[in-house]
Amino acid sequence: MRLQVSPTRMEVLNLRRRLALAKRGHKLLKDKQDELMRRFMIFLDENKALRKKVDEELGKIFNLYLGVCSRTNKESLYSAIKYPQEIPEFLSSKLTVLNIKAPHIEISKQGNPFSYGLKDASPDLDITLSMLGALLPEMLKLAEIEKLIHLIADEIKKTRRRVNALEYILIPNLEETITYITMKLGELELANIVRLMKIKDIARAK
């Protein structure tokens, strides 16, 4: 769709500058979109592998815990895990990927995770708690990657809308307007030449 501007040479210069800027912006956004897609696929593969690992480990932990529950008195088991001595600390920060800020969480632990005596629970409870403690950083990493994937997907959508707006709306409109004004100016110039030639012919006839 042609822009509503005055058909002047100055306006053509301004439109050509805008067109050059729009094309540069389009290229930069296109490059950004391609890089976002590349990173998205990398994180998607990483998420898939990590999700599989976490699910498998959680399955083992749950099976062990079910075994512990079946062999241990309910009150004894509850008493053994009621007051954990291990204190986790979570450190929150920001991870920046292509100007996208995603949450990053690190965990540190203090204290003894086994706050019960040997007679209070099955030895498999030690293994269960150890495996769960070892898996916790992986679970946090998985949550971090999944959040980053969602953020990158949102940014890809925004970037794609801008690329499409430039590629299919602004740039064609600018090119159509420049062509129209150039033709209009050519017609005006031709009309001026014809008018001058007529004036010249009239002057000679006198």
Q: In the structure encoding, which two tokens stand for residue 186, read together?
A: 């050519």
pLDDT tens column, 38-70: 999 999 999 999 999 999 999 999 999 888 888
Distance CA(48)–CA(64), nearest Å, equals 25
Distance CA(21)–CA(39), nearest Å, equals 27
Distance CA(166)–CA(38), nearest Å, equals 22
Write down the residue that tokens 């959040």 correspond to: 147
**Partners of 91 in the β-ladder:** 106
Distance CA(69)–CA(77), nearest Å, equals 7
- Environment class of residue 146 by beta-carbon count within 10 Å: exposed (0-12), middle (13-18) or buried (19+)? middle
Distance CA(62)–CA(79), nearest Å, equals 19
Whether 116 has a pLDDT exceeding 90, the answer reads no
Q: Which residues contact 111 (CB under 8 A, 6 or more apart)?
A: 84, 85, 86, 87
Q: Using an 8 Å Cβ cutoff, are 103 and 94 in contact?
A: yes
pLDDT level of residue 125 (50, 70, 90 thresholds):
confident
Distance CA(185)–CA(9), nearest Å, equals 8
Residue 49 is predicted with a pLDDT of 96
For 201, other C-beta atoms within 10 Å of its C-beta total 9
Map out the domains of the chain with their CATH numbers: 27-167 (1.10.287.3240)
pLDDT tens column, 140-171: 999 999 999 999 999 999 999 999 999 999 99
The torsion angles phi and psi of 117, rounded to 5 degrees, stand at -85, 165
